[in-house]
Amino acid sequence: MSAEHAHSDRSAEHLERAFRELLAEKGIISDAAVSERLEFMYTRTPALGARVVARAWFDPGFKERLLEDGSAAVTELGIDIRGLRLVVVENTAVLHNLVVCTLCSCYPRMLLGLPPDWYKSVEYRARAVREPRAVLAEFGLSLPGDVTVRVHDSTADMRYLVLPARPTGTDALGEAQCAELVSRDAMIGVALAGSPSNVL
């Protein structure tokens, strides 16, 4: 991470701490409520999102509901997304989706845990929109020319989750095994789901 990025992160931390203290001082929110929210976020991992993806691969009805209303569908699995709107976009043979937040770093933390540093970087946020294929290539993902790349910009009240295509050769795998093939990066759109040889 560059010195400039590290400085930016520290500045954001100081600003967040000052804002939190002001809210507590005004009686708008308590330290206990903040601690509860932080604990909620730090216990989330990409495994939750992978579970959602694998269920969609195995259950066509769930997949249909997930694509129609992601927020409602994930609650069927007991996942609390705290009132945020979740939009799920599906990768196909002719369409690849990529998620970014150009204004800050809005991210589906409730399903993927904390965002990686690169997702928050100014470079990724700018270039993912301007030159998505170049960015994907830098992540090691080169797509055929006939595949459309669609970039989705998250907002403060809406998060995107990519539903990656199910890898070939997974017919003999169970749902839990397929979930192991789904990485955080695949659900952001900078990678594909893994090979079944990873779990066999």
Dihedrals φ, ψ of 47, to 5°?
-60, -30
pLDDT digits (tens, 9 = 90+) for 36-52: 655 656 567 899 999 99
27 and 88, same structural domain?
Answer: no
Name which residue leads in pLDDT, 99 or 109: 99
Catalytic residues: 101, 104-106
148 and 122, same structural domain?
Answer: yes
Between 17-26, 159-168, 188-197, the lowest mean confidence (pLDDT) is in: 17-26
The CATH number assigned to the domain holding 172 equals 3.90.330.10
Q: What is the pLDDT of residue 38?
A: 56
Query: d(Cα 162, Cα 172) in Å, to the nearest integer?
Result: 24
Tokens representing residue 92 in the block = 């196909």
86 and 19, same structural domain?
Answer: no
Query: d(Cα 3, Cα 18) in Å, to the nearest integer?
Result: 23
With a pLDDT cut of 90, the percent of the chain lying above it is 68
Q: How confident is the model at residue 3 (pLDDT cuts 50, 70, 90)?
A: very low
Give the Å distances, CA to CA, from 144 to 93, 98, 132, 179: 10, 15, 13, 26
Tokens representing residue 189 in the block = 């759109």
Dihedrals φ, ψ of 162, to 5°?
-85, 130
50 and 38, same structural domain?
Answer: no
Tokens representing residue 171 in the block = 């017919």
176 and 105, same structural domain?
Answer: yes
25 and 123, same structural domain?
Answer: no
Q: What is the pLDDT of residue 197?
A: 83
Enter the pTM of the model: 0.81
135 and 98, same structural domain?
Answer: yes
Q: Which residue range forms the structural domain that includes residue 33?
A: 1-43
pLDDT digits (tens, 9 = 90+) for 120-146: 999 999 999 999 999 999 999 999 999
55 and 39, same structural domain?
Answer: no
Q: What is the pLDDT of residue 30?
A: 73
pLDDT at 198 exceeding the cut of 90: no
Q: What is the mean pLDDT of the chain?
A: 88
179 and 120, same structural domain?
Answer: yes
| 69 Ramachandran zone, left/alpha/beta (phi>0; psi -120 to 50) | beta
Domain tally for the chain?
2
153 and 55, same structural domain?
Answer: yes
